[in-house]
Amino acid sequence: MAEDLLHAAACYAAEHDLMWKVWDLAGGNGNPEAWKFFADPAVRRQMVPVIQEACRQDEMAIQHIERALGKEKV
């Protein structure tokens, strides 16, 4: 169970890092001009694979958590 939960945590850590990449594409976290970056189709196209990878990490984390919940205590 612990191993699966550690894998899920690693997936969520990766997802967190990916969201920082999205913010970097928008000029950085807390950038008051970020809306301008999000309005740019070229920037949004760069964000697509990052967000898709974040979704993949989330799906893998869910699988690990489900596997952990399915295991019995020994």
Please give the pLDDT value at position 48: 98
**Tens digit of each residue's pLDDT (9 = 90 or more) over 15-53:** 999 999 999 999 999 999 999 999 999 999 999 999 999
Query: d(Cα 5, Cα 22) in Å, to the nearest integer?
Result: 26
| Cβ-based neighbour number of residue 50 at 10 Å | 16
User: What are the Cα distances from residue 16, in Å, to 8, 13, 68?
Assistant: 12, 5, 22
Q: Which of 21, 29, 27, 15 is nearest to 47 (CA)?
A: 21
* Helix (H) and strand (E) counts in the chain: 3, 0
Query: Which tokens belong to 74?
Result: 């020994």
Q: Does the structure show a pLDDT above 70 at 59?
A: yes
